[in-house]
Each structure stands twice: as C-alpha cells, then as structure tokens.
Amino acid sequence: MTHGQVFVLSITGGLVLALVAVAFLMLFRSAGDHKLTIRVGGLRRDAVIAQPRAPRFPPFLISALQRLGNVMRDRMLSARDSEALGRTLAASGFEASKAMPIFMGAKAVCLFVVPGIVYLGTVVLGYTSGKQIGYLVASIIVGMLLPNWVMGRIRAPYQQALRRGIPDALDLLVVCAEAGLGLESALERVAQEMKRSNRPVGVEFSILNHEMCILPDRRIALENLAERTGQPALKRLAGTISQTIKYGTPLGPGLRTLAAEMRTERMTQFEERAGRLPALLTLPMILFILPCLFIIIMGQPATRLMASLGSISH
C-alpha cells in the first residue's frame, strides 16, 4: 500500500469517527438538560430555575438531526418498539422524549453515511469489486449496530452506579424520615446529598421528588421511577413507599428493613464473586504460573543432565 493510499484511508477513517462522535455528542448534550427538572425546579423553596446552557453545536444541526430521527421513528418503529427504546434510553440516564429522535437520527447517519464513506475509500484505494462489496457489507452492519453498542456502553456504568448507590440513599432516607422530615423533604435532601457522591442516584431521586410535587397521585411518580430505572431495588422501594402512602404505615421501619435487605444482598453478591475466583484462576495458573514453576524447578537439573549425556556421548 502506497503512502497516498494510507493517507486517503486515514482521512476516510477520521471522517467516519468524526461523524459518529458529533452525532453522539449531540445526543449527550441534548439529553443532559432535563426539561422537567428545569420547569419544576422553582417549586422548591427559594429555588432558582436553572437556565439551560448554550449548546455547543449549531442549533440547526441538532434540529435537523431531531427531525430526521422523528421521521425514522414514525416510519420504522412500532409503538411497542418505540416504548422499549424509550425505556432503554431512560435506563441509560437520558430523557427519552428528547433523546429518542437524536438517537434515531444518529442511527440514520451511521447507517447511510458510514457505508458511503467506506465505499468511497475503497474506490479511491483501487480495491477490487469483491473487496468493495465485502467492506460495504461490513460497514452497513457496523453502522446499524454501532449506536446500540455505544448506548450499551453508556447504560452499563449508569446502572452499576445506581446499584452501588441505592443502599446509601436508603440509609440517608431512613435518617431523614426518622428525623421527622416529610416524604418530599426527605427525598429532596437525599437527592442533594447523593449528587455529590453518586450523581445518577441523586438525579433519579430529584426527578422523583419533582414528579411527586406535580402529579395528582404520588404513587404514579413511584411507578415512573421503577419503570424508568429498571432496578429491582428501586421497584421494591417504590412498593414500600406506595404501601406507606396507601395504608398510612410508618415509613422509617419499612425503609430500614429494605436497606438492611439490600446490604445483605450486596454482601451475598460479593461472597458469590469471591467464591468464583478459584475456578476463574485455574486456567491462568495452568497457562502462566505452572510453566514458570516447571522451568525454575526443572531447568537446572535438565541442563546438567543434558551436559552429562553430551560428555558421555563424546
């Protein structure tokens, strides 16, 4: 491959990566500003409604991507698929109503632009028709799956942060409830404190508090929390608080019991991981540790034996 071909191929790859990066940065930027949080932030005492920051990308690019995503969603997704995608985006920490059009627009960009650039690069580099078709098919598959892969990589750490921070949030909620604070005040305090150590948990509790303030039935907000996050622990929390609201039972003992159960479950998970370590270390020990031990133990006697046999033969 000549230097000119390498240069053209580098330019092509750079353009592909730049397009993908711009598309998903638009997704992150738009999804980061929670419209609901901004609108109901003034409900809190002495609260100042946060002004949305100026977007880093031109507004016409974001709006064009949203329009393209709306067209793709209306024509390609059924109601069930759209609902499932919305749950996936919400479980990744995005506002589904705003992030879904941008996500679909990014999929359209990756699906059509990436194969076009790859095909153009194969033509410029002078590949045969067979290689061109192979690269084109591979780029189409990558363009279809790349947004889903990126979203999966975003969702995994977000869900992990939620699982890690829920027991701490429950402990704080127990303290606030037993200190005499109301449910909304306790949720607001927990959201403020958790944003410093575990932002996903703090954001989810803040959204829950705002929805409980504006929705006619607070149990609807709890159901939204359980559906939005997809975490079994938060589903149980929603059930416990709903039972407290419905029957008037004390909130503190129920939350304390739930927090203790979650701590026990976390410790059980750690013990299960520790119990799997010997089985996981068996193969690396056989492949890497035992050969080194054999070389160290048998190396010197083997060399002496070979030297003795060599002297006898001579």
Would the pTM count as exceeding 0.75? no
Instruction: Please determine, for residue 49, whether its predicted confidence score (pLDDT) is greater than 80.
Output: no
> Could you tell me if 147 and 262 lie in one domain?
no
Structure confidence by residue, pLDDT tens digits, 238-256: 888 888 888 877 777 878 8
Same domain, 23 and 146: yes
pLDDT, tens digit (0-9, with 9 covering 90-100), for 127-176: 888 888 888 888 888 888 888 888 888 888 888 888 888 888 888 888 88
The pLDDT value given to residue 24: 54
Give the number of other Cβ atoms within 10 Å of residue 218's Cβ: 17
> Does 107 fall in a domain?
yes
Both 82 and 172 in one domain: the answer is no
Kindly tell me the burial class for residue 278, based on how many C-beta atoms sit within 10 Å of its own C-beta (0-12, 13-18, 19 or more).
Answer: exposed
**Residue 299, in any domain of the structure:** no
Q: Is the pLDDT of residue 272 over 60?
A: yes
| 273: in domain | no
> Does the pLDDT value for residue 30 go beyond 60?
no
What mean pLDDT is predicted for residues 74-82? 75
What is the average pLDDT value for the chain, to the nearest integer?
A: 76
100, 133, 155 - which closes a domain: 155
Instruction: Write down the H helix ranges in 179-250.
Output: 183-197, 199-214, 218-229, 232-247
pLDDT category, 48, cuts 50, 70, 90? Answer: very low
Number of domains in the chain: 2
Mean pLDDT value of segment 12-16? 58
In a domain, 103, yes or no: yes
What is the extent of the structural domain holding 38? 3-155
Question: Among 155, 186, 220, which residue terminates a domain?
Answer: 155
Q: Say how far apart CA 64 and CA 56 lie, in whole Å.
A: 15
Which position has the token pair 């027991």?
167
